[in-house]
Structure 1
Amino acid sequence: MRVYQDQLSKQLSPLKQCYMIFGDDPWLCETSRSQILKHAKKQGFDEKIQLIQETGFNWNSLIDEWQAMSLFSSRRVIELTLPQAKPGAEGGAIFQSLMKMANPDVLLIITGPKLAAEQTKSKWFKTLDNHGVYIPCATPEGQQFQRWLDTRIQHFDLTLSRDAKEMLFSLYEGNLLAADQSLQLLQLLSPNQQISSQELTRYFEDQSRFNVFQLTDAMLNNQQDNAQHILSQLKAEGVAMPILLWGIFKELGILLQLKSALESQQSLQSLWGKLRIWDKRKPLYQAALNRLTLTQIESLLASASELELNLKQQGIEDWTGLSHLSLLFDPKAHLALSHIKLNHWN
């Protein structure tokens, strides 16, 4: 039976004979394992046996442990790790034998990497699946990650503004472990108040002298010397580049909506409120809108996307590219420099 981690609790009473945890997401794998073990302990499964299918692994040892009497308790957990998720013909035959010898005093937990589609159709997998639960642990993306994030925010009883949620989504998509640790930190620091994106920046920027909001304000105002200085300081202080890209994307997204409205002869009055732009910040956007064309804003977004793509896919923190991007908020520099490709390492 295939069950996802957030529904696993429904499959623990009563405990099944076997649980298979396969996937490459560390947080999902460990959370699933811990959840099963915690529930098993309440049911008297106090002894744990750990086996790893390494070179020369003796599959008969699994049968021996299955049939052995516990020295310390009446119930035991056998954890079997399959590093390649390939038990082979011998292992498959052993699994079939075990499932024919039902033992309510033994719980089998099998862990390994993500399974390919053909592996879930194999005889060994179907044998175990018919007698237990399969928990696939692939890292959620997009809307699935958003749902996971919302669930964890509720779990920690936190209240976050929309901007704060968007910031967490941008910073931690693809890294559940880091996201969960950050939410635990927020629970300690702000357990009973709404958390804004500004507060998130303060928590996660390592007490920086400057922050992403000062940087984007300088960019919007075309204060190039100030922007470059802030960028240099942020780099020296070890501020994470994803935080800076999040702030830049946010402002460029707002600029794109405002400029598109102007190009369509629409009034900005309704958009100011919709985008939550207060009176004191309107001059910043007006200055950028008067200065930049729609094409230039779209080009800025494309350049920012290149930086983010190379950061996420190749781990490249291109601070030179970020400095170049900042310069492009000046239309004169844009005309002179926009032809230069940011992905110069390719």
Structure 2
Amino acid sequence: MELKPEQLAAQLEAGPLLPAYLIAGTEVLRVLEGADAVRAAARAQGIDEREVLEFDGRQSEDDWNALHASLAAPSLFASRRLIEVRIPSGKPAKPGAQMIVDYCQAPPPDVVLLVTTGDWSRKHSGKWSDAIGRIGKVAVGWPVKPHELPDWIGQRLRSRGLQADRDAIQRLAERVDGNLLAAAQEVDKLALLADGGRLDVARMDALVADAARFDVFRVLDAAMNGQAAQVARMLARLRSEGEAVPALLGMVVMELQRTAALARIKAAGGNLSTEFKAQRIWDSKQPMYQRALQRHPAPRWDAFVSQAGRVDRIAKGRGVRGEDPADAWLALERLLLAVAEPRATRMLARA
């Protein structure tokens, strides 16, 4: 039976670890906390030896032999080991899937297998995930829907020993604008600042910063994650707050250049995992790049970089005749909407 990561965390406190766990999903915070719960349970049960392996789904059988060797090797320092397999794409290559199936058919008593993915949908599941479900637990961190967010926040507040009025919870949900990480950070801050008593709207307003400020980092995350409606709304807010396009473009250009480099490596059949490490892209950010790279071919990312240069020229008054610097906002919006939604690329020709 498929669980939520929060349900898995509760179950882990109730009994010994099972032979295998799969924690998957695009909601990074929920996946990370679910995996942390397994690691914490392992430490509590005396499992101090941990090995981490990462695969991008394209490796050959020889590459996956590292997993086979780890599963078969005896523990060096402890009676039990936690072997963590990270598959950001959510799709193990055929040899990897078979190794997981084989492990689940006869799990060794000294190993607990933890598989995490950064991308997940119904089409990702298969014999390998079903095999994990038969001997262990499968938890999926689906994105929290807008109407579910107040309940998620309320539960998290209660887990920190806080009580809040429904209107106060709704106010916090509005301020974090669907960002679970921001919500978690604000709840942790409330746990430190709240001095007892029930939180009402006025108290919530006094203690919580406006985490829904739409800075350039969040605009870029929305574009890379394919959230076109949020891109348009965030840019409108930035413009209304008096931000200047040139002040935003440095980060925009850097992000597009980085993604264009990743796209070229992917097109050439290179190892994205190695490049992620070389560019110091955190594990939690890698699924975002994976999704963006699936939407556009490599040449289009190079075209996006060129378009960013054009936006810069317009903003500085060096565009073609008839282009006003004020047009830079429209050009920037069209560029980032195209990044988010392939169908919007046709607007660039008219930009």
TM bin, normalised by shorter chain, reads 0.5 to 0.7
Q: Deviations over 1:324-345 (max 9, x none)?
A: xxxxxxxxxxxxxxxxxxx976
* Aligned residue identity for 1:136: V
The whole-number CA distance in structure 2 between the counterparts of 1:185 and 1:115 is 31
Pick the structure with greater CA Rg: 1
The structural deviation recorded for 1:31 is 0.9
User: CA separation of 1:144/1:313 partners in 2, compared to 1, >3 Å: closer, same or farther?
Assistant: farther
Instruction: Tell me the residue number matched to 1:96.
Output: 101
Instruction: Tell me the residue number matched to 2:147.
Output: 143
Determine if the alignment matches structure 1 residue 3 to structure 2 residue 3: yes
The whole-number CA distance in structure 2 between the counterparts of 1:28 and 1:65 is 27
Instruction: Tell me the residue number matched to 1:315.
Output: 234
Q: Deviations over 1:243-284 (max 9, x none)?
A: xxxxxxxxxxxxxxxxxxxxxxxxxxxxxxxxxxxxxxxxxx
The whole-number CA distance in structure 2 between the counterparts of 1:239 and 1:73 is 46
User: CA separation of 1:196/1:313 partners in 2, compared to 1, >3 Å: closer, same or farther?
Assistant: farther
The whole-number CA distance in structure 2 between the counterparts of 1:174 and 1:138 is 13
Determine if the alignment matches structure 1 residue 49 to structure 2 residue 43: no
Could you state the TM-score of these two structures normalised by the residue count of structure 2? 0.58
Q: Contact between 2:75 and 2:110, CA under 8 Å: does it hold in 1?
A: no
Q: Contact between 1:141 and 1:173, CA under 8 Å: does it hold in 2?
A: no
User: CA separation of 1:17/1:173 partners in 2, compared to 1, >3 Å: closer, same or farther?
Assistant: farther
* Aligned residue identity for 1:63: H
User: 1:82-231 to 2 correspondence within 5 Å?
Assistant: 82-120=87-125, 122-205=126-209
The whole-number CA distance in structure 2 between the counterparts of 1:239 and 1:102 is 46
Provide the identity percentage. Answer: 25
Instruction: Tell me the residue number matched to 1:24.
Output: 26
Q: Contact between 1:5 and 1:137, CA under 8 Å: does it hold in 2?
A: yes
User: CA separation of 1:177/1:320 partners in 2, compared to 1, >3 Å: closer, same or farther?
Assistant: closer
The structural deviation recorded for 1:143 is 3.3
Aligned to 1:15, the other structure's residue is in SS state coil
User: CA separation of 1:320/1:103 partners in 2, compared to 1, >3 Å: closer, same or farther?
Assistant: closer
Instruction: Tell me the residue number matched to 2:213.
Output: 240
* Aligned residue identity for 1:29: V
Could you state the TM-score of these two structures normalised by the residue count of structure 1? 0.59
Aligned to 2:49, the other structure's residue is in SS state strand
Aligned to 1:315, the other structure's residue is in SS state helix
Q: Where does structure 1 lack aligned partners over 5 or more consecutive residues? A: 207-237, 243-308, 324-342
The whole-number CA distance in structure 2 between the counterparts of 1:180 and 1:21 is 19
Q: Where does structure 2 lack aligned partners over 5 or more consecutive residues? A: 216-227, 243-328, 335-351
Equivalenced residues, count = 229
The structural deviation recorded for 1:7 is 1.4
Aligned to 1:85, the other structure's residue is in SS state coil
Aligned to 1:195, the other structure's residue is in SS state coil
Instruction: Tell me the residue number matched to 1:65.
Output: 70
